Amino acid sequence: MRLRGSMIIVLVACLLMGWVRSQESSASLRSRRLQIRRRVLERLAERGLSEEEREIVAEEIMARLDSHMGSSPPQQQPPPPPPQPPSSTTTTTTPHTHHHNNNHHHYNHNTPSHNNQHSRLPASLELAASRLIDERPSFQEIVSQIGPFPDLEEQELQEEMEEEQQSGLVNQYISREEQLRELLRNKRGEVPEEAASSLSSSQEGRNRKRGRKSRWQQEREGRRDAIRNNRRKRKKKLAREVRRMINAGNITLHEDESGEQFIDCCPSRDEYVNVTIGKTDKNRAVEIHPGFPYFRERVCLPHIENKECIFPRQSLRSGVVTRCKQQYAYSQALSRMYLSTEEDWKIHFIKLKSGCSCQVAVNHKKKKRRKRKR
């Protein structure tokens, strides 16, 4: 009898423990379902849906989740019936062989699929709900990531911490908004002292830059005017000098058959010189024989040599430079090496002036590459 009574007590205790565990699991499932619903509402709010649309879509998603899991939302289970008195034959069934209807691992084939149900959502909400379901992880993945369900007290603590974090973010947002408003007021000139000083300093800097730029422009224009004036002066001076040389007879005029007169670009004249020491074609100094006659040379005029040729300025392009240069030729003469008294007199070629030629040079200025505007 004592053994039978102890077995009855053990059986009643096991039944009570199973009932308590089922109540705890149902409460944890309800809390988990509420948490999933809250997250779904947050995701829908991020997508810009209104409150009514969020509620409709959330209900539709939770219904699909329940149908997918093969179980309806967890409801309050009725308390188990009181234990019946054992019969005359005692059972030896252990407490953990109690049948548990685990619907988490079996799909309910009697539940109609979502494709057969008539959707009560508009097309845009139906598309948003389908996207959320595609992005939503499965229930088993959520359970595997989170682990055992938290108790109600832990969930309340977590919600309080989230509210505190959100309040901190709200305060931070408000402070940032106030800072932006202050910056806008400073830009509009509502703060007189600091803003006015910064504006005055920036205005002074702009005025200095404008002054430097205007001075550079004036200097550049002054250089241009000076170059133009020098060109005009050179042109007038050259014309006056040529006219004076023609009047003085220093320049020979050449006439053609029609009677038109011409002048040399680099005027020259003939001179007779007595050369005692000359230079050969091999650049050696020689002594000319004393009885040798005078030499005739054609030399540049002294005020023309190494100067610009006589050209009208309009006929030359910019960058063209001219000059009058003395030319040389070689003539035979009886001579011997300089300071050599024992050497006999021989005929050598002596360097003599033979005319004045005009030389032209073109200065190719490199063009500045223009920077392309990006």
Residue 236, CA atoms < 13 Å, CB-side half-sphere:
6
The answer to whether residues 288 and 276 touch, using CB atoms and an 8 Å cutoff, is yes
| Residue whose structure tokens are 């032209």 | 360
Dihedral sign, Cα of residue 61, residue 67, residue 71, residue 73: positive
Smallest CA-to-CA distance from 60 within 141, 138, 127 is with 127
- pLDDT tens string, the chain, 374 residues long: the values are 566 666 677 666 777 667 666 666 667 777 777 888 888 888 778 777 788 888 888 888 888 777 766 544 444 444 445 444 444 444 444 444 444 444 444 444 444 444 444 445 566 666 666 666 555 555 455 445 444 444 555 666 677 777 766 667 777 777 877 888 777 776 655 445 555 566 567 777 778 888 888 888 888 888 888 888 887 777 777 677 777 777 776 777 878 888 888 888 888 888 888 888 888 888 888 888 887 778 899 999 888 888 888 876 666 777 778 889 999 999 888 888 888 777 788 888 999 999 999 988 877 666 666 666 65
CB-based contacts of 372: which residues, under 8 Å, 6+ apart?
none
**259: β partners:** none
CATH number for the domain formed by residue range(s) 264-362:
2.10.90.10
- Cα separation, 219 vs 239, in Å, equals 30
Q: What CA–CA distances, in Å, run from 95 to 5, 18, 78, 98, 245?
A: 16, 9, 20, 6, 142
pLDDT at 325: 92
- Cα separation, 345 vs 94, in Å, equals 152
Smallest CA-to-CA distance from 314 within 231, 230, 221, 254 is with 231
The answer to whether residues 103 and 69 touch, using CB atoms and an 8 Å cutoff, is yes
**349: β partners:** 332
Question: DSSP assignment, residue 119?
Answer: P
DSSP string, 185-246: HHHHT-SHHHHHHHHHHHHHHHHHHHHHHHHHHHHHHHHHHHHHHHHHHHHHHHHHHHHHHH
CB-based contacts of 186: which residues, under 8 Å, 6+ apart?
194, 195
- Cα separation, 371 vs 60, in Å, equals 63
Any idea where the domains of the chain sit in the sequence?
2-84+107-155, 212-253, 264-362
E-state strands within the chain: 254-255, 261-262, 268-273, 277-279, 285-288, 295-300, 320-337, 346-362
